[in-house]
Amino acid sequence: MKLFKLLSLAAIAGLLVTGSMTSRNHHLLFSDSAPSGILSLELTRSNSIQYRIFSEWNRPENYVFERDWTNPADSVTMDSTVSPGKKIKYSEPGEKIRGVDAVERQTHADYWFILFYVFGLILLFWHYYRNVYPSKDRITSRQFWLFSGTVIAIGILDLVENYYILESVDLFKRLNPEDPSPDRLSDFVKSGVGAYVFYPALFKFILLFITLYSFGWSISIFKRLTGWLSGLSDNFLFGLRLGWMFRIVLIVLFVLFGFLIFSDQGQDLLITINTSFWGTIIFLFSISVLATINWYLPKLYAGGFTDLMLTVPKGFVMAGKNSVNYARLLGALTFLIPAVGILKTMQQYHMPYLLDDVPVMVILLVALVGYKQMLKYNTLDSFFAPRGVFSALRYMMVMVLFFLLMIAFYFIRDMEVEQYGRLSYLSLDLFLLSFAFLITTTYRTKISFVQNIEVAPVVLIVGLLLAVVFILFNIPPILFALIAKFRFFTLSIVIAALICYALIFSYLLVLGKRTKVQWITLLLLIGFLVSYVKISDFHKVNTVVAKGEEPVALSTHIRSWLEHRRGEIATYQAEHNKPYPVFFLNSYGGGIRASVWATMVVSELDSLVLASRGSKQISDDFQHHVFSFSGASGGTIGFSLLTADRVKAKDSISSGRFYPNNTKVYEYDYLTANVVGVFGRDLFMTMIGGNWYDDRSRLQERGFEGILKDKFGMDYDITLREAWKKDNMDLPLLFSNTYDINTGKKGIVAPVLLEKDDFPSCVFIQDLMRAKKLDLPLSAAAFLSARFPYVCPTGKFDEKHHFTDGGTLENSGAETSRQVIAVFERVLAEDEFAGLNVTINVLSISNSILSVEYPTQDKNLYEVVAPALGILETISSNALKADTINKVMAARQKMKGWSYNKIQPTREMIAGNWPVLPLGWQISDHALEVMKKSIKDQRAKIENVLLVF
């Protein structure tokens, strides 16, 4: 019986894995002649229709592009005589997978699927032949051999069908080496290969239907169906009741699951912690504590205990084996989630591993189903408790083996795959820990050195220690001291926060049972009402009292700038016989990756211009020719960092701090301040409606200010008026774009005054500050644009103006840049500046990875989610629209010498893998290396920008 269950598990796992492989790129196999995909091909006897199906599958627009991840080369081509604004072609190594290629691959995978379904059906027949059931519900020996033989015959027919499908695909490809041609139809028809596919498929389906129907009739399946559905309903209701009972633990796991599976920032953090020995140890320790908490707390809930110390009496056993098993599974699942999260990361980074073609959700499901079946049928007893007697020796041998393997994994590296090593082995560590946890919790009461230990104090004390660590990280001096030295705490702090809240809500749950008051519901309701009713200044934008001269109008600043440059413009034209180039830069949003890419691109242009002029003075670099920066979200942060570096340039010498090969600024932890705010201090203050300390946005600003000041001597807290003094004409204007949720208008922070006619339907934050005699620090002005919803709070200026992320409305900053150009052009046309020969040049910096475009899979848009998806798509479409308008505008003014360029990073192989670029506020060394290499690969485009000099 136990052997049967093990074999059944193997069959189910094999079906799930091979089934996912046979459905890969299945969307390519649906067409007018094949409405049912590959099934339409199998049941088509006509050779001409089969040819038409292949032709439709092979149409030019029906393909996916499969990147050759073993090839590190990207290709950016450009003619040496290219003119500014000309589109540069980009290509990646790889191949187009069309429908006929997809069916070929699916058919190869189907050979394994046939093996598992034949094996699985025979196991099913054997179960109803040998198992103890009433005689009327069993099948006879004759029926067993008949059904099994028929299934084997079905498998053979399936193999024959697959063989001829591959033959027909091969024939079609030989007849049509390029695009399908009707002229080849007659040759294909003559082969008669369609019938060789049709008849095996037809007989296969007929035999399969007869076999399954006969088998179902033999075991009275129709009578059983009601019982099965009733049992399914009972199990579903039981699951709901259990889920509600264990809801605190389930919510914790859902948060962990979302952060590690769906968040590229979470995946990049897994790379970061894996580069550090202590980061790995702290992570494994914290996840082990969380797993133990998730196993222990269900006992507390199920027992209905009211001890405020949250202790479960020694010897307590949960009622019902299913409840006990689910508690153990919740603990094991805590290890499995980061384990498959790492596999997801490896897929994203294109690190090869066994079964990397299988979706990680299938792997998670197989592991969970396997563990559940082991617990349900006591499969572990066959090894650890043979003949009903627990073997401590076998248990110790397995634990020691696991421990030795985990140590060995640490020292094993595959330098061709993982430069920093062991990411795949960290996943194996977690799988081993999940299995070891399952074994230990199953036999805990039988292990001599554990059975006498009071579990509750140990679990709760360790959990409370990690909760205290999370609370301590909410104290700014401790937080800033640690993030300035290490950047591997973030993920462990997230786990510590989950432990903290699991314990807090568990305490409230126990307190509610003791006092007959629903404290969790009551506190959440009070928190909601307080936050709704009370007007709080907790998320108020950080402003300071204005000092110095008031800002001037944009047009006035342009006049001063042109007057200041008058002599330089004339000299430049005389020496180079070219107009004086003036640049207007815009940068897309995208968190820290946008910031890194913006600073790298501009600094690379700085270095090239300085090298060409043999100078180190900032008056000779590229930024000297930049009139304005306009950014959204992370793009604004990048521009503001360049501003902070430039405004304090010592002796007007370029620092080179943001040159591509110098990434020290970004090798710090700027994310944990947000994390402790989201999970800790901000949540508490929001519920009480207070304003006792800095919110998470201000905490993040302080984190940047402190690191930049202490490590690099940059004054990121300098005010706008101080930075853009009247005599500081070498500092590009910074336009920080944000979004006012009260009015639905774009908000602009700028060091100059703007006119409504030039920037229609905008909120001018400089005007709001002047009215109250306030000023903004550079950090606050920049982060007013980078307030991604929920991650960062909406910034309050007053009751009538609350600002959120600039990318909400338009994520490129291109619209504001175009409006600045319009004012600049109008002033330039004034009689006073008629003799100045100046060209306008637009540079757009996008941080999305440049890739080959190919048709995307059609998706079913449900009525419920379609409007929300449409609204979200407006963010990218508005950015593309604004950027495209600038491109068209530059093309129309080509005769005046205008230019438009756009620079994006490329996919890059780093130490054998392909890192992703995270959207959060911490970035791994892998991702930084991608951007460094991308700068080199984009040299042609960068030199294209410099052609105007």
Of residues 481, 614, 609, 548, the one with CA closest to residue 774: 548
Of residues 750, 818, 815, 817, the one with CA closest to residue 782: 750
Q: What is the pLDDT of residue 75?
A: 54
Which of 152-156, 308-312, 318-322 has the largest mean confidence? 152-156
Q: What is the enclosing helix (H) or strand (E) of 148?
A: helix 141-175
Q: What is the pTM of this model?
A: 0.84
Task: Flag whether pLDDT at 80 surpasses 70.
Answer: no
Q: What is the pLDDT of residue 297?
A: 94
pLDDT tens track for 532-564: 788 788 899 999 999 988 999 999 999 999 999
Alpha carbons 372 and 326: distance in angstroms, whole number: 8
- Least reliable range by pLDDT among 500-509, 543-552, 683-692, 913-922: 913-922
Of residues 174, 166, 224, the one with CA closest to residue 38: 166
pLDDT tens track for 205-232: 999 999 999 988 888 777 777 877 888 8
- Helices marked H in 797-861: 814-828
Alpha carbons 927 and 941: distance in angstroms, whole number: 21
Spatial contact of 180 and 60, defined as CB atoms under 8 Å apart: no
Spatial contact of 92 and 852, defined as CB atoms under 8 Å apart: yes
3-state secondary structure of 308: coil
pLDDT tens track for 132-170: 455 556 788 899 999 999 999 999 999 999 999 999 999
Alpha carbons 938 and 904: distance in angstroms, whole number: 8
Max Cα-Cα span within the chain: 106
Which tokens hold the place of 331? 């603990």
pLDDT tens track for 754-795: 999 999 999 999 999 998 999 999 999 999 999 988 888 899
Which tokens hold the place of 287? 């996840």
Which tokens hold the place of 735? 């336009």
Q: What is the pLDDT of residue 594?
A: 93
pLDDT tens track for 395-452: 999 999 999 988 887 776 554 444 444 677 888 999 999 999 999 999 988 887 777 7
CB atoms within 10 A of CB 375: 21
pLDDT band at residue 912 under the 50/70/90 scheme? low
Residue 577's region, left for phi above 0, alpha for psi from -120 to 50, else beta, is left
Alpha carbons 241 and 238: distance in angstroms, whole number: 5
Spatial contact of 657 and 645, defined as CB atoms under 8 Å apart: yes
3-state secondary structure of 863: coil
Of residues 334, 296, 280, the one with CA closest to residue 489: 280
928 exposure class (CB count in 10 Å sphere: 0-12, 13-18, 19+) = buried
Going by DSSP bridges, is the β-strand pair 795-798/94-98 parallel, antiparallel, or unpaired? unpaired
Q: List, as one string, the DSSP characters of 624-654.
A: GGEEEEEEETHHHHHHHHHHHHHHT-GGGB-
The terminus-to-terminus CA distance of the chain in angstroms comes to: 81
Q: What angle do CA 106, 109, 110 make, to 5 degrees?
A: 85
pLDDT tens track for 47-60: 889 889 988 998 88
Instruction: Find the mean pLDDT for residues 720-735.
Output: 89
3-state secondary structure of 910: strand
* Sign of torsion over alpha carbons 93, 96, 101, 105: positive
Alpha carbons 158 and 38: distance in angstroms, whole number: 13
Q: What is the pLDDT of residue 705?
A: 94
- Least reliable range by pLDDT among 377-386, 412-421, 588-597, 811-820: 412-421
CB atoms within 10 A of CB 232: 10
Which of 75-84, 471-480, 912-921 has the largest mean confidence? 471-480
Q: What angle do CA 419, 422, 425 make, to 5 degrees?
A: 150
In the 3-class helix/strand/coil scheme, how is 728-761 assigned residue by residue? CCCCCEEEEEEEECCCCEEEEECCCECCCCCCCC
Q: What is the pLDDT of residue 850?
A: 67
pLDDT band at residue 501 under the 50/70/90 scheme? very high
What 8-state DSSP symbol labels residue 659?
A: S
- Residues making up the chain, counted from first to last: 949
Alpha carbons 40 and 44: distance in angstroms, whole number: 6
What are the distances in angstroms from CA 359 to CA 95, 108, 306, 749? Answer: 22, 18, 43, 45
Q: What is the pLDDT of residue 274?
A: 73
Alpha carbons 516 and 216: distance in angstroms, whole number: 52
Q: What is the pLDDT of residue 862?
A: 62
CB atoms within 10 A of CB 752: 22
Q: What is the pLDDT of residue 450?
A: 74
Alpha carbons 674 and 591: distance in angstroms, whole number: 13
Alpha carbons 69 and 350: distance in angstroms, whole number: 7
Backbone phi, psi, residue 75, to 5°: -125, 115
Q: What is the pLDDT of residue 79?
A: 41
Alpha carbons 288 and 437: distance in angstroms, whole number: 9
Amino acid at 501: Y
Q: What is the pLDDT of residue 84?
A: 43
Task: Flag whether pLDDT at 654 surpasses 80.
Answer: yes
Q: What is the pLDDT of residue 945?
A: 94
Alpha carbons 380 and 6: distance in angstroms, whole number: 11
Instruction: Find the mean pLDDT for residues 915-919.
Output: 73
Q: Give strand ranges (E) for 696-809.
A: 733-740, 745-749, 762-764, 774-775, 795-798, 801-804
Q: Which residues pair with 738 in a beta bridge?
A: 747
Alpha carbons 493 and 482: distance in angstroms, whole number: 12
Q: What is the pLDDT of residue 421?
A: 47
Going by DSSP bridges, is the β-strand pair 626-632/580-587 parallel, antiparallel, or unpaired? parallel
Spatial contact of 494 and 679, defined as CB atoms under 8 Å apart: yes
Spatial contact of 616 and 624, defined as CB atoms under 8 Å apart: no
Which tokens hold the place of 152? 């084997």
Q: What is the pLDDT of residue 340?
A: 93
Inter-axis angle of helices 490-515 and 247-257, nearest 10: 160
Q: Name which residue leads in pLDDT, 139 or 512.
A: 512
